[in-house]
Amino acid sequence: MGQSATYNKNILYGAGFITSLLGVFIVMILFWPQIQNDRIIKYRINKGKVLKNISQELVGNGILKNEQTFLMAVKILGYEKDIQAGVFQLRDTSTNLAIINQLVNGTPDMKRIMIPEGSHLKAIAQVMARNLGFSENDFIKLSVNKRFIEKIGITSESLEGYLLPDTYLFFDGDSPETVIKTMVKEYKSFWTPTMRLRLKEMQMSEREIVTLASIIEGEAIYDKERPIISGVYHNRLNIDMKLQADPTIQYIISDGPRRLLNRDLKIKSPYNTYLNKGLPPGPINSPGRESLEAALFPEDNDYLFFVAKGDGTHTFTRNEKEHIKAKKAFQKIRREVRKKNKI
C-alpha cells in the first residue's frame, strides 16, 4: 500500500472517529438528565417569549437543573422557533428531549369560553381576560384602535357589536389580537352572499343593520319575537318616528342595567332614542345571529308599540291607545308581584 493510500485511510478513520464522537455528544446532550418530578407540572408560555426566557422560567419552575444543555439540545434539533405558546401539562421532565418534545409536539390546553348574546365590549374583555390571562385594558385598547380595526376589515370606530357572541375555544396564552381576530372572523361568516344581497335590497348599511340588531338583542328574550320587534322598529324608521328603545338608555347610564326613570330618558346623548330620531351612531352590544337575521328580515306587521308582559314576552300594539292599555295591564302585574313579595 502506498504512502498516499495510507494517508487517505487515516483521514477516513479520523473523520469517522470525530463523527462518532459528535454523535455521542449529541445523544448525551439530548438525554441529559433534568429534574424528574413526581407530579404533572403546569407551565405557561406567553406569545412572543424567546428561548432564553423560556429556559430561565423552566429553571425557576423546578423543571431544569442544567439550562445550558437544554439550550444546546433545542438548537441541535433546530426548534428555536417551534416552541408553542400556551399552557402545557408536563408529565415527563427527566431529560432535555422529553421536555422539548412536549413543548414542540404537545397540544397546549384549550379553554372553552362562552360569550352570551347582547354582551357589551367591556364585558367581553373581562371574560376573555379572566380566562386567558391577558390585560382587560389591552383588549379594550385594541378594540378601539382605528388602525387595527381598519386592518381587520371593519368600518367602525369601535368593535362594539362586531365581536360575535358564541362559544369559542382558545389556547390558554392566546393574545387579545388573536381573540379579537377570531371573533371578528366569526362575525364576518354571518355575511353570506344571501345576507349581502338582502342588505342591498333594504338599502341600509352594514353598520345600521348591526346597530338595529343590537337594539333587538337588548329587547328580545325569545327568538320568535325578534322578527316582530324588528318589524316595529322598521315601521318607526319608515315614518320617521323616534325608536324610544330602552336598551339605548341602558347603554348610556353608568349604573345599569336597572329600571329606567323618567330623568334617564332626558339624558343628552346621540344614543338616546327618546330624544333623537333614527338609529344611534353605532351598536350598543354584540348581537347574535338571530338578532342580525331579524334586523334583515323583519316581520311584515303594522305594530308601532310593544310593552313587556312580565314573563319575557311582549304585547304588540298598533296605536297609542292600545299601547297605554297594555302598559296599564303590565303595571297591574308588577303591583301584584310586589304585593306577593311583601307577604
Q: What is the pLDDT of residues 4-21, one digit of tens each?
A: 655 555 555 555 667 778
pLDDT confidence of residue 3: 56
Kindly report the CATH number that applies to the domain delimited by 304-343: 3.30.160
Task: Kindly tell me if the per-residue pLDDT of 265 is higher than 70.
Answer: yes
Cell numbers linked to 225: 319575537
Spatial contact of 173 and 214, defined as CB atoms under 8 Å apart: no
Q: What is the pLDDT of residues 303-319, one digit of tens each?
A: 999 999 989 999 999 99
**What phi-psi label fits residue 113: left (phi over 0), alpha (psi between -120 and 50 degrees) or beta?**
beta
pLDDT confidence of residue 5: 55
Cell numbers linked to 284: 350598543
Least confident of 14-28, 75-89, 90-104: 14-28
Outline which parts of the chain fall under CATH 3.30.1490. Answer: 22-105
The percentage of the chain sitting over the pLDDT mark of 70, rounded to a whole number, equals: 94
Q: pLDDT band at 323, cuts 50/70/90?
A: very high
pTM over 0.85: no
pLDDT confidence of residue 189: 97
Which residue has better confidence, 184 or 11?
A: 184
Give the SS3 label for residue 279: coil
- Which residues share a beta bridge with 171? 110
Kindly report the CATH number that applies to the domain delimited by 22-105: 3.30.1490
Spatial contact of 95 and 124, defined as CB atoms under 8 Å apart: no
Q: What is the CA radius of gyration of the chain?
A: 31
Which residue has better confidence, 241 or 48?
A: 241
The mean of the pLDDT values for the chain is 91
**Identity of the residue numbered 258:** R
Would you call 182 exposed, middle or buried from its count of C-beta atoms within 10 A (0-12, 13-18, 19+)?
Answer: middle
Outline which parts of the chain fall under CATH 3.30.160. Answer: 304-343
Give the SS3 label for residue 18: helix
